[in-house]
Structure 1
């Protein structure tokens, strides 16, 4: 039943996506990378949500909650403020510029050198960090949910090319390659609209499935006496795990919400190519803003399926000594009936493929527009650009499949992802913010700010003996990231004051879509921010 329900939903989603998008134009760069700039707000919201909600979130964030409790909901709830900022400030400027990638905006604002450096940073980060983590966390999650060791019969070491391979390692490599090949086919033969449509279908399934896990999990806590009783038991048994205020011992102490945690959220939702490329395909500014704010409303529900299950798993399985990243898959396998386990695993595959494909599509856009069109073949046609992008997709996907299994052994894949993301999140976000707000800062200031930011964070992470010294000053890494961000801002502003641009930069309109803002933007934003504050207040306990 598990396998049948898994295959049934997977085939249903693929076939429905084919029917909806089979006549869409995908030969031009706009068609392949931006869905022909025709995306409406439900599709944008569904795609944004599912691009974000892959297994590094479902497995990783629930694993963090298993360890630290409700405090890790900061990654979901604080994201709502970032989405409000995206809708009100960043999106109108990006859409007005008519761009396909963030580096394109930086070339428009600064120069080609800044664009090329940013392009290379994104490509390296996506190819050797983001995509492998998506594949690795997806393989770990599916292995736990479907109990692949018993399902495949690989319970003993096997001989592969003369080497003895342990069962867990064999299953990890096999699952990584299965997911990678499936995702590559979707990305290779479909454009952004195909991916966004598949995201929306799977997004509905993911929300239903995510709530089911919480429902069945709370029922298990209460021995079948209802979710209200389960929630009561959870609060009484684990009060320290249900405090929204992070303590110094958690991965997100409360003070960090105002420094590094906020900055990483702002970059992720406002300038991260993998995410915001969906919004660049909006049919109008109003549709884009509605899609972004609808995503914010849906993110308010995130703790129910991204944090609460981890706390339930702690209550049920902490005594068994399972690892953080095994908690979610174990909970799914233990509390769901077989037929629903297969359905949810299929939804999870959709979530994995969504993030994987989003990263591949964004990576191919960065490569073809930023490198192929600029450096390799400046006179190439639209069709040649898209063809080069598709070839690059296959190449980077194969490389990521070999890198992904090497990530095994991390204590928390979510914490590892946030640490590594900071290396490039902070410098790029600082440069984009200054570029939009200060028209006199010159191109060299932006270029060297990128270099300075990469060096400052890289030295702290990778030079032996530096991390303890920095941590002794800032206490938390997130505070150090806030310091780096402030340093880069001051660096560029001082440069702009001493040696400003000859003429102030002005953003020119270069888009075919309607740029009339959504009339409900202001009130929807106020309501979302008020709800964020209410959620935090209702679970806050500063004395714990």
Structure 2
């Protein structure tokens, strides 16, 4: 039944997308890249929601809320304000210029070289960061939720590779061969499914906590975990409160106002009114986003007592725990659609950037529109293959969501800087744009990938004595194998006394012997002790192996409970003590990383101001000979929707009220 509902919903999306797009002329640039500039408000809002809301968001943010609580909702709620700003200030200018890509505006404002550099940065970010993260997080979710390794009798790593290539190939077919309209229509259908499926998980989770009552579940979780419902983050949190007024809003403005994968939906609007209504409808949906991408993480923390080894597994594990078997197929299809949406949306944007901004400009200036579309499709296939090769290695990057946001800073703030200066000034020259984007990227790379590791390593060295003390306890327990020695004869005897026992029960107990791979932890501890540089580099392997051990401990405990077997008290005590020491080490490491160097959102804000000053100084010293004036190309009607500002103010007030309530 589950497989049938999965296949049925997936085919339904594909058929409707085909029927809705078969009359679109995809041999032309506008037809293929912008859906013939025919998108309405509902389609734009649905596509915006699904492009943004995929597994890197669902899995990553719920993992973050599992650790820190509701304060991470800033990534969702502040997005609503950024969408309002885009609808009122940026979209009218984009549609007035009739552009297909954000870099095309930069060509008009600065020159073709600035456009090429920006397109190159976007494409590099997509292939190295965004597309692989979407593929990996989606594969991790499907592998964990639906127990693919068990079904196919393969390892977890092999399962992730298979899922990465499956998602990548199917997503490529949508994006490369269907064009923007196919992507947007499929997104809209999947958006409905995702809203239904996404809300089901916290509902079932609250019912589980409240013994059948949602209201009791809410009351229990809020009273039991009051710290998880504080929206103000301290200096040790991933979002200190001050960052909301610095880099956080800049990141949101870049993402919703200038990121090609997002803004392309609004650029395909049939007119400004529909584009603005689509963005504002999307902003309302983002306010509701924390129900899907934050609350389940807190529910998982309550249900699993904060004992999961990897926070990014909070959402998949919760789904396995609370979702009725009858709904697994539908939810798998919805999740699959969300993964495809983010992947094929970014891939379609990459195809657009390459075809219009690089191929047409630098490779074949005389290319016909059919040739441009064909070149874009070919590039899309190559890009998808590269992303599929990179994706499985994201496993070593730490927190999915944190990794994505921090690495995005390489190109997000520089691009936002030159767009803001480009719109707000008229005489800043092209050379300022090139210097601004290059200096922004280079300074950010130096800050986050040279200076930050240096300072963190120094601070971690200072914490080395306390870390070594805890590691000695872990090593002592694991070396004696007290934590992993199980009396299998007694375990099997206990199973045989149960009614309705099966051979599978006995086999699963036998497998427990291999379930805890403590040797990797001993090896990592030994390497850390023998490494004279006990800094960031030697910590990474240690943290990864210890988190895996914690997950193994939880598996053993849950497996024994499920089989009705009582663990030997010595083993239970040892597991608990070793896990406590592992947690202490991870807390020290995590705290040191956050306090040793300024938060990356603060760094973004500082570099944003520095880059603007650099560009304004260049503009003062070497101004353009003629002031820039944007021309109206009359591609679409740019009469604004008369309620845009009123609705925008309402959205902003709702966001502010939410913060006041959870202060």
TM bin, normalised by shorter chain, reads over 0.9
Is the contact between residue 5 and residue 343 of structure 1 (CA under 8 Å) also seen in structure 2?
yes
CA distance in 2, matches of 1:400, 1:537: 41
Structure 2 counterparts to residues 352-501 of structure 1, below 5 A: 352-463=339-450, 468=455, 475-501=598-624
Query: Partners in 2 of 1:323 and 1:471 — Cα distance?
Result: 18
Deviations 1:177-196 (A, max 9, x none): 00001111111220111110
Match of 2:52 in 1: 52
CA distance in 1, matches of 2:303, 2:595: 37
Q: What is the CA–CA distance in structure 1 between the aligned matches of 2:305 and 2:65, rounded to whole Å? A: 12
Q: Is 1:300 equivalent to 2:272 in the alignment?
A: no
Structure 1 runs of 4+ off > 4 angstroms? Answer: 464-467, 469-474
Higher RCO (CA 8 Å, separation ≥ 6 residues): 1
Which residue of 174, 178, 190 corresponds with 1:190?
A: 178
Query: What do residues 389-421 of structure 1 show as CA deviations (whole Å, max 9, x unaligned)?
Result: 111111100111010001113331000000000
Q: Distance in 2 between matches of 1:449 and 1:412?
A: 30
User: In the TM superposition, what is the alpha-carbon distance from 1:17 to its structure 2 partner?
Assistant: 1.6
Residue 15 of structure 1, CA deviation: 1.4
In the alignment, the residues of structure 2 paired with residue 61 and residue 319 of structure 1 have an alpha-carbon distance, to the nearest angstrom, of 16
The whole-number CA distance in structure 1 between the counterparts of 2:60 and 2:634 is 38
- In 1, Cα distance between the equivalents of 2:231 and 2:61? 14
Task: Indicate the SS of the match to 2:396.
Answer: coil
Distance 1:42 1:133 in 2: 27
Q: After the TM superposition, which residues 206-221 of structure 1 pair with which residues of structure 2 at under 5 Å, given as runs?
A: 206-221=194-209
> Structure 1 residue 108 and structure 2 residue 108: aligned?
yes
The alpha carbon displacement at 1:472 in A equals 7.6
Match of 2:496 in 1: none
Contact 2:49–2:191, Cα closer than 8 Å, also in 1 = yes
Q: Measure the CA separation in 2 of the matches of 1:535 and 1:359.
A: 31
For the 8 Å contact 1:35–1:192, the answer to whether it is kept is yes
| Of 237, 250, 270, the match for 2:224 | 237
Any conservation in 2 of the 1:146–1:342 contact (CA below 8 Å)? no
Q: Report if aligned partners of 1:5, 1:339 keep a CA contact under 8 Å in 2.
A: no
Q: What residue in structure 2 maps to residue 509 of structure 1?
A: 632
Offset of residue 7 of structure 1: 1.4
Deviations 1:414-467 (A, max 9, x none): 000000001110100010000000111111011001111011110112226665
Structure 2-normalised TM-score?
0.78
Cα contact 2:26–2:179 (8 A) shared by 1: yes
Question: TM-score by structure 1 length?
Answer: 0.95
For residues 177 and 123 of structure 1, what CA distance do their matches in structure 2 show? Answer: 20
Is 1:92 the counterpart of 2:88? The answer is no
Task: Work out the CA distance in 2 between the residues paired with 1:525 and 1:315.
Answer: 36
2:653 alignment partner in structure 1? 530
Partners of 1:459 and 1:466 within 8 A in 2: no
**Deviates further, 303-312 or 4-13:** 4-13
Q: Does 1:330 align with 2:317?
A: yes
Question: Which residue of the partner structure matches residue 242 of structure 2?
Answer: 255
Q: Residues 339 and 5 from structure 1, CA distance in 2 versus in 1: closer, same or farther, beyond 3 angstroms?
A: farther
Counterpart-to-counterpart distance in 2, 1:441 and 1:60: 40
CA deviation digits over 1:356-377, x for unaligned, max 9? 1111110011111111000110
The answer to whether residue 322 in structure 2 is matched with residue 199 in structure 1 is no
> Is the contact between residue 461 and residue 467 of structure 1 (CA under 8 Å) also seen in structure 2?
no
Q: CA 1:271–1:146 in structure 2 vs 1: closer, same or farther (change >3 Å)?
A: same
The one-character-per-residue Cα deviations of 1:237-287 (angstroms, maximum 9, x if unpaired) are 111111111122221111100111111111000000010001000000000
How many angstroms apart in 2 are the aligned matches of 1:466 and 1:344?
Answer: 40
Q: Which whole-Å deviations, capped at 9, do the CAs of 1:285-344 have from their partners, x for residues lacking one? A: 000000000000100100111100011011112443231111111111211112212211
**d(CA) in 1 for partners of 2:174, 2:642:** 36
SS state of the match for residue 373, structure 2?
A: helix
Partner of 1:129: 129
Shift of 1:513: 0.9
> 1:2 Cα shift?
2.6
Q: Is the 8 A contact 2:308 2:314 kept in 1?
A: no
Change (3 A) 1:347 1:480: same
CA distance in 2, matches of 1:319, 1:525: 39
Q: 2:459 matched to which residue of 1?
A: none
Contact kept, 8 Å, 1:80 with 1:299, in 2: the verdict is: yes
- Secondary structure in 2 matching 1:502: coil
Aligned partner of 2:157 in structure 1 is: 169
- How far apart in 2 are the matches of 1:128 and 1:144? 24
